[in-house]
Each structure stands twice: as structure tokens, then as C-alpha cells.
């Protein structure tokens, strides 16, 4: 099959440079939405946390067109540099200086071109090319020289249609999972009311009295021997309502450490920084696993609390500002152990909490089914992509 380079079939456009003083955080007349690196997600563009810049500093070429590829050209994270997504909206929008846009010409189908930037081949190539002392960068020639197969236009359109359909099925599964997340939060609100104002008037207790907690072990790279190495959870492993065990790191945990920093099924892990309060229940996913100082381990007293109620309570308080008085904001927001212990926890009847836990389990069962199907669709999509860009689809 004929090969072409990205430079053969598209034009590179640099992002808008601007002074921070001109930025607005809300839509305004005469201002355009500005996409930044953080708006380029794994599954497309993310339309939250937008900034807005004056139209007067944006040239015509910097106004996005349908089919444009928005790409993170510079990032402090090697995994983020090169991340790309297709722009498919009609709303006038621009992009920032740490991004680039690849605008396909008439020699390539925009849909086919966009799918190339989802392939593992593309991601592995840009990871090797990105370079920089403190920040990873993709230069113009890096992108222009990327080569990929380009069949005749009609064939490109056929392949793009097949991949679009497979991707649409994945999107629907992700949307179903998001709806189920919303459902559980709605159930929580209907059963327990406004937690920030304790609208149901439940009795309260300090967090530390009903869920003893402690921070994890400090990582000191200088004293690691590997003799007592064990896996541990860090901030990035604790997402809302789930523990991600795909990339666990290791450090030494002496026998005494293992007693202090062990994890029991039903423990709640709470992020100290990053997104203070983000939490999930440990279900014993990995044997002999411990936790780092970036996390609090809370152990709910079963006479007062279920882990399910506690995690969704923390989610509710985080979203409605109920933790604001307890989070210290200096350079980085964090929730100290001392302040966590002082948070007043509404305590609904234990029977009501247990009913909520049963409903959470029912929703989680549905979510697990959707996750399984999504994983199958991801595998299918990856296979179709691989075959498409090898000329076998």
C-alpha cells in the first residue's frame, strides 16, 4: 500500500500565544473557547475546564475546522505529549500555544486521518520522538515525517466508516457507565439528603471517632534495598470508587511496616493531595499490598459506618464544598490527617446505610457487565485499527 507522511497530507498550525491577563474562565462576547493539553482526553476532546481568549488575538488559521486534529505538542508528562483528538464541532474554537493543529488537505479523508492518531503505532512513535530536559516536545519535523499507509480516497472513507461504527459502540458503553455512576449518586442523595448541610438532621461524630485513619509510609528512595520489596498504592491508584492496580510500584516494607501499613477488605483509601478526599474501597484486589504517605487509610467502625456510605459521603462533600474548611491550600491543596479526623460525619441509621450498600452492589454488578463488554469492544477496535493501517481491513 502507498505510504504518505503527515506533512504530505496536512498543514501544521501553531497555537495561540497569549498573556494570562487576557484569559477569562467564563464565556464572554468577543471571546473564543481555548483548548489546551488537558482538554485532549483518551477518548476525544474534553469540554470542561475551558478558558476563553479574545477573538482579536486569534488569526483565521487558528480557528478550528471540523476534521482538524488537535495535538499536545509539549507536556511535562511523556505519556501526555502527542495525545491527539479530532475536532468535530461547529462552534468557533481555538487552541493554546502548547498544542498544534494538523489540518488535513483534500488528498486524505479527514476521518481516516483522525483514526491514525488513535493507533498504538502512532503513540509508540511519538513517545520515542518526544524530547526535552524538563518538558517533552514534538517539533514540526517530528510530526511531518510520520509515515502511514494511504489507500485511495474511497477506501479511506470505507475504513473510516467501519472504525467510526466500532468507536461509536465504545462511546455508548462509556456513556452507560457514566449514567450508572450518576444513578448511584442520585440514590445516595435521595436516601441521605444534602450532606453539607445535613438536611436530614442525622447525629454527627468526628471522622476519627468512627473511622480511625492514618497516612501511609513515606517513600525514601535512598534507603531502598529491594530485600523487603512489596507493592503499594499511591495517589494515582485511587480513583473515585475504584482502585487501579495496573501500575503498582514497589518499595521496602519491613516486617514492622507491614503491620502498620497493611490493608484489609473494607478499608477506605482517601487521597491526601491532588484531589483531596478522592476515595475508594479496598476489596483485597492484590495480596500483600500496602499504601504510601500520599494516602489516608480509614477503617470504618462497623457499628457506625459502612464503607460504601463513607465513600459516597466523601464524594458528596467534595463536590458540594463540604470539605473546603478542612482542605489546606498553600501551594498544593491537601487534606491533613489531623483535619480529616475533625470532619463531622453525619451518621444515618446503620440499617439505612446497609440498604444503600446493597443498592450500590446491584449497580456495580451492572457496571461490571458494561466494563466487560467495553473491554471486548476495545480489543475489537484495536484489532480493526491494526488491520486497517496494515491494509488488511
Task: From 32, 119, 49, select the one nearest 84 (Cα to Cα).
Answer: 119
Q: Supply the pTM of this predicted model.
A: 0.74
| Least confidently predicted of 219-223, 252-256, 258-262 | 219-223
- 78 or 148, higher pLDDT: 148
pLDDT at residue 387 is higher than 70: yes
Q: Are 388 and 122 in contact (CB under 8 A)?
A: no
**Residue 379 CA from chain centroid, whole number:** 20
What is the pLDDT confidence band of residue 331, given thresholds at 50, 70 and 90?
low
- Using one digit for the tens of pLDDT, what is the confidence trace for 102-129? 999 999 999 999 999 999 889 888 888 7
Q: For residue 391, what pLDDT is reported?
A: 82
Q: For residue 327, what pLDDT is reported?
A: 84
What is the pLDDT confidence band of residue 345, given thresholds at 50, 70 and 90?
very high
The sign of the torsion formed by the CA atoms of 14, 19, 22, 26 equals: positive
pLDDT at residue 240 is higher than 90: yes
Q: Are 348 and 309 in contact (CB under 8 A)?
A: yes
Whole-angstrom Cα distance, residue 9 to residue 103? 8
Whole-angstrom Cα distance, residue 160 to residue 149? 13
Whole-angstrom Cα distance, residue 51 to residue 28? 11
pLDDT at residue 133 is higher than 60: no
pLDDT at residue 300 is higher than 60: yes
Q: Are 162 and 384 in contact (CB under 8 A)?
A: yes
Whole-angstrom Cα distance, residue 202 to residue 199? 8
Q: What is the largest CA-CA distance in the chain?
A: 71
pLDDT at residue 388 is higher than 80: yes
Average pLDDT over residues 158-163: 95
Residues forming a β-bridge with 333: 329
Q: Are 336 and 277 in contact (CB under 8 A)?
A: no
Average pLDDT over residues 351-371: 95
Q: For residue 366, what pLDDT is reported?
A: 95
pLDDT at residue 221 is higher than 80: no
Helix 153-192 and helix 307-320, axial crossing angle in degrees, nearest 10 = 100
Question: What is the full DSSP assignment across 56-112?
Answer: GG--GGGS--TTPEEEE-EESSTTTTT-EEE----S--EEBTTEEEEEE-TTS-HHH
For the beta sheet containing 249-252, the strands, ordered from the edge strand earlier in sequence to the opposite edge, are 249-252, 229-233, 289-291
pLDDT at residue 42 is higher than 90: no
- Using one digit for the tens of pLDDT, what is the confidence trace for 278-287? 999 999 999 9
Q: For residue 390, what pLDDT is reported?
A: 84
What is the pLDDT confidence band of residue 276, given thresholds at 50, 70 and 90?
very high
Thinking of the domain 3-150, which architecture would CATH place it in?
Answer: Alpha-Beta Complex (3.90)
Whole-angstrom Cα distance, residue 393 to residue 380? 13
Helix 153-192 and helix 350-388, axial crossing angle in degrees, nearest 10 = 180
Q: For residue 226, what pLDDT is reported?
A: 83
pLDDT at residue 214 is higher than 70: yes
- Using one digit for the tens of pLDDT, what is the confidence trace for 49-102? 899 999 999 999 999 999 999 999 887 666 688 899 999 998 999 999 999 999
Whole-angstrom Cα distance, residue 354 to residue 306? 7
71, 172, 187, 280, 362 from 366: Cα distances, Å: 35, 15, 15, 18, 7
Q: For residue 16, what pLDDT is reported?
A: 94
Q: For residue 265, what pLDDT is reported?
A: 96
Whole-angstrom Cα distance, residue 45 to residue 68? 12
pLDDT at residue 330 is higher than 70: no
Question: What is the full DSSP assignment across 208-244?
Answer: HHHS-EEE-BPP-GGG--STTEEEEE-GGGEETTEE-
Look over the chain and give the mean of its residue pLDDT values, rounded to a whole number: 92
Residue with cell 477573538: 55
pLDDT at residue 195 is higher than 80: yes
Whole-angstrom Cα distance, residue 217 to residue 260? 9
Q: Percent helix, strand, coil in the chain (nearest 5)?
A: 40, 25, 40
125, 382, 384, 388 from 120: Cα distances, Å: 9, 8, 12, 12
| Least confidently predicted of 21-35, 79-93, 128-142, 222-236 | 128-142
Thinking of the domain 203-347, which architecture would CATH place it in?
Answer: Alpha-Beta Complex (3.90)
The terminus-to-terminus CA distance of the chain in angstroms comes to 12
Whole-angstrom Cα distance, residue 295 to residue 248? 14
Amino acid at each position: 500500500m502507498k505510504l504518505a507522511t503527515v506533512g504530505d497530507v496536512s498543514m501544521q498550525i501553531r497555537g495561540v500565544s497569549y498573556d494570562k491577563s487576557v484569559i477569562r474562565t467564563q464565556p464572554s462576547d468577543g471571546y473564543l473557547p481555548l483548548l489546551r493539553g488537558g482538554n485532549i482526553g483518551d477518548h476525544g476532546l474534553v469540554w470542561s475546564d475551558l478558558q476563553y481568549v479574545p477573538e482579536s488575538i486569534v488569526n483565521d488559521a487558528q480557528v478550528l475546522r471540523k476534521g482538524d486534529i488537535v495535538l499536545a505538542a509539549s507536556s511535562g508528562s511523556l505519556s501526555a505529549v502527542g495525545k491527539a483528538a479530532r475536532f468535530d464541532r461547529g462552534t468557533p474554537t481555538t487552541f493554546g500555544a502548547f498544542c498544534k493543529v494538523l489540518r488535513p488537505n483534500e488528498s486524505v479523508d479527514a476521518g481516516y486521518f483522525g483514526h491514525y492518531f488513535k493507533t498504538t503505532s502512532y503513540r509508540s512513535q511519538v513517545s520515542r520522538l518526544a524530547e526535552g530536559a524538563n518538558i517533552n516536545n514534538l517539533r514540526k519535523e517530528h510530526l511531518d515525517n510520520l509515515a502511514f499507509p494511504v489507500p485511495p480516497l474511497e477506501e479511506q472513507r470505507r475504513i473510516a466508516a467501519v472504525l467510526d461504527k466500532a468507536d461509536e459502540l465504545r462511546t455508548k458503553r462509556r456513556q452507560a457507565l457514566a449514567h450508572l455512576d450518576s444513578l448511584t449518586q442520585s440514590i445516595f442523595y435521595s436516601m441521605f439528603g444534602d450532606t453539607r448541610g445535613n438536611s436530614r438532621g442525622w447525629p454527627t461524630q468526628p471522622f476519627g471517632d468512627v473511622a480511625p485513619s492514618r497516612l501511609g509510609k513515606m517513600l525514601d528512595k535512598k534507603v531502598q534495598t529491594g530485600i523487603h520489596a512489596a507493592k503499594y498504592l499511591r495517589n494515582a491508584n485511587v480513583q473515585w470508587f475504584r482502585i487501579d492496580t495496573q501500575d503498582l510500584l514497589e518499595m521496602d516494607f519491613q516486617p514492622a511496616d507491614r503491620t502498620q501499613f497493611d490493608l484489609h477488605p473494607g478499608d477506605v483509601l482517601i487521597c491526601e493531595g491532588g484531589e483531596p478526599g478522592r476515595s475508594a474501597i479496598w476489596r483485597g484486589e492484590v495480596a500483600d499490598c500496602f499504601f504510601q504517605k500520599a494516602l489516608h487509610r480509614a477503617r470504618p467502625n462497623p457499628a457506625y459506618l459502612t464503607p460504601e456510605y463513607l465513600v459516597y459521603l466523601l464524594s458528596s462533600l467534595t463536590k458540594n464544598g463540604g470539605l473546603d474548611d478542612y482542605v489546606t491550600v498553600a501551594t498544593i491543596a491537601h487534606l491533613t490527617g489531623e483535619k480529616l479526623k475533625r470532619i463531622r460525619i453525619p451518621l444515618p441509621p446503620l440499617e439505612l446505610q446497609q440498604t444503600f450498600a446493597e443498592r450500590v452492589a446491584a449497580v456495580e454488578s451492572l457496571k461490571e457487565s458494561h466494563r466487560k463488554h467495553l473491554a471486548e469492544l476495545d480489543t475489537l477496535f484495536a484489532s480493526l485499527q491494526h488491520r486497517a493501517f496494515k491494509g488488511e481491513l
